[in-house]
Amino acid sequence: MAIHPIEYRYGTPEMKSIWETENKLQRKLDVESALAQAEGKLGIIPQEVADEIAAKANTKYVKLERVDEIEAQTKHDIAALVKAIGEVCDNDAGEYVHFGATSNDVVDSSNSLLLNDSIEVLKEKVERLTKIMLDLTKENIDKVCIGRTHGQHALPTTYGMKFGIWADELHRQYERLENAQKNVCVAMMDGAVGTTAALGEDGWKIHKEVANILGLPAATITNQVVQRDNHVEFISTLANIASTLDKIALEIRSLQRTELMELGEYFDPEKQVGSSTMPHKMNPITAERICGVARIVKSFVNAALDNNPLWHERDLTNSSCERIMFPESCILTDYILSLTIKLMSNLVFYDENIERNLNLTNGLIMAERLMAELTRSGMGKQTAYGIVRRNAIKANKEGGLLGELILEEEDVQKYLTPEDVEKIMNPHTYIGSSKTIINELLEQSKEWFK
């Protein structure tokens, strides 16, 4: 019976397959195979023994059910793994399995393989989402809308600016993910306290050769574990990505509110139901799910931080936490990335409402421009600010047009004509350098994923 929503509701097949129990077992077997191969190459164990261990270190031979059966008796997962491999090896090859290693050599190295596979999936989706944002940026470079600060109408901006900001942020998240991958995905084969003592003078060579076989960088120095500041960086990066997706989805939700309705997620009127009791509802459920799941991903940061300080060369407090944290954080981050790709690929724009909201305040959003143009025409800046502010407050209270009220000021008439004011009050022509900014961003983006 399924219990956790990841089992039946959340997650993608590609990421779940990485963290399925049988694949996790295979990754541990890959480490044991690499150890045997390295030891065979350096003559620490007979080559035919190394070949036999490498051949049998596969779930075709080592069954998950048998490993679990042994672990139920030994109460030790890696000891159970070692015994299960030994049972399927011919002759006495099983005697050499895991020689010179400690359990966490296998655990941390196999986790690095799993995390590396997960990061490759995440990178592909961050890149795909970034490119979707860049397309939206280009398509909406001229779509002028109201910009809001503190929830209030501020100045005109464009949807190109909004999407461009998200594209730029997602690219930074991609770079953070690459950096975290470099630091967290390392192999180790260093023994009980990191000195490789059980492997003698060839211990450090074995450490590096195992990493080479696994296709990972070798950890620079360990005790019994890869130091968990690396894992803090990785989990923090996932939390940071989740915060970006949360930000994007929150904005979509806000813009889809009935009072605004500038854009929103696609709703299938033939099949989709918004409410079990209100037939009219078309709720932003995809965006809301992104925001909700993002909270779970972000919550893992404290756990990762607590896993860094361990007793002396190592204790076990990080282990149980990471069994939960690693798969859940990867699966859920991947899931909300996929949801955000779906959300942004199917956005619905309501252009009439965008224009309506742009003009909702009867010109108040052009107060800054009025002040600036009066100053450019020769009026003192502070004087201009005071005149515009006084008339803006009056327009706000009485519902008049700011452009008409400002022309009643004798001091303003000395500097601006009615034709000047008419031009000034057009919000579509007050978007500053936004096109230049966006075009530079689009040009830079050509180098992002090479």
- The set of catalytic residues is 150, 275
Residues 379, 411: contact at Cβ < 8 Å?
yes
Minimal CA–CA distance to 112: which of 230, 237, 239, 15?
Answer: 230
State the Rg of the chain over Cα: 30
Report how far residue 444's alpha carbon sits from residue 448's, in angstroms, rounded to the nearest whole number: 7
CA 78 remoteness from chain centre: 32
Minimal CA–CA distance to 155: which of 422, 386, 373, 368?
Answer: 368
Indicate the pairing of strand 263-264 with strand 152-158: unpaired
Report how far residue 420's alpha carbon sits from residue 260's, in angstroms, rounded to the nearest whole number: 31
Report how far residue 162's alpha carbon sits from residue 242's, in angstroms, rounded to the nearest whole number: 18
Report how far residue 191's alpha carbon sits from residue 313's, in angstroms, rounded to the nearest whole number: 11
Tokens 């690693």 label which residue?
A: 326
Report how far residue 141's alpha carbon sits from residue 263's, in angstroms, rounded to the nearest whole number: 16
Residues 365, 154: contact at Cβ < 8 Å?
yes
Report how far residue 163's alpha carbon sits from residue 168's, in angstroms, rounded to the nearest whole number: 9
Tokens 């309501």 label which residue?
A: 350
